[in-house]
Structures are given as structure tokens and as C-alpha cells.
Structure 1
Amino acid sequence: FSLLDEWEDRYRYVIELGEGLPPFPDEGRNPANKVAGCVSQVWLITEYGPGADPVVTFQGDSDAHIVRGLVAIMLALFSGRPASAIQETDAE
């Protein structure tokens, strides 16, 4: 984001990231996968690999363009990593 000086460019970039998310399965849009407390609708599917420090994979989607982009950022930071690495990540 530091390469983009204007907030409008950053906003557009976040939306573009969301457009690049893989398709979310329709059956994943259910109450069990819905993130509570969001103004927008957000769904998150979490899968755990085997072992004491499983690799955790996420799939996510939202009905709002900007939130979908934020979900894409979250997936880039956390999905496909061991649980211990996720816990140690400082997202800021």
C-alpha cells in the first residue's frame, strides 16, 4: 500500500484484491460459516490439516466489495500456514 499515495487508489486496489478471490462455494454461505458482528455479510470456511501444528486453510467471501478485498488480505496473511505461525503473526 505504501506505493499508492492516494486513498482512492488504495481503496480501488483493495477492491481488486477481492475480485481475485477464488469462487466461494454456495453451500458455504450458511449460518455456521457466517462471521457474526459484521455489518456486511462475511463467510469464512476454515480447514485444518493433520498434526500437532496443523496447516490452516481459509476460504472467504463477502457481499460487499471492499470487505471482500479485506478478506483477500486476511487470506494472504494467514491461509496455508501452520497454526503456530498464524498465532505469531502481527497483522499490523
Structure 2
Amino acid sequence: MRDRLAALRLEFHAGSAQVQPVGAGIPWLGFVVFPTHRRVKARKVVQATRRLNGRYAAWPRGEISFADFDASVQGWINHVRYADSWGLRTHVLEPFVI
């Protein structure tokens, strides 16, 4: 494997590449990918919740427009729709009363 990667001018990082069963999930771009489904990483949910709560609080104060807040919500929804996240979206967006 190392020779093949070297031929492609790629470097193998032994510390980062650990052999694990596929059933344990593979972290990838903010998701954990399993053979049958995808989940959003927990820390990404926490970050998004904090960011959206902050932007929701900034909207009535006039620091951002509703369009900016809505764009943030729509962007997050667009990202997490690639996972099995219907319940997650409902839970995270429930506090936002418009």
C-alpha cells in the first residue's frame, strides 16, 4: 500500500490510519459513515446548536437580518440532510419560534 501511495506522490500517515471494523463507523466530513446509514458527529451538532442559538438571539437585537439567520438554518439543514437526521433536525430547530 505504501508503494502504491508513493507512486501517486501521496504520504501514508501511520498514526492516523488505524484498521477498524467497518461496523464501528468511519468519520468523514462531519459524519460517521456506517455500512447502512450515516450519522452527524456529536461535536458538530453541539457546534451548530450553539452557532444557531447565537444567531437566533442576534436577530431580534438587529445585529443580523432575518435573511441571514434563515440562510444559516437552511445551510445547516442542507448539510445534515445527507445523514439520517430527521429527528435531529426537529430537535435542534424546535426552540426557534418565528
- TM-score norm. by structure 1 comes to 0.26
Instruction: Tell me which protein shows more helix as a share of its residues.
Output: 2
Q: Which has the larger radius of gyration?
A: 2
Higher RCO, Cα 8 Å, sep 6+? 1
Instruction: Tell me which protein shows more strand as a share of its residues.
Output: 1
- TM-score norm. by structure 2 comes to 0.25
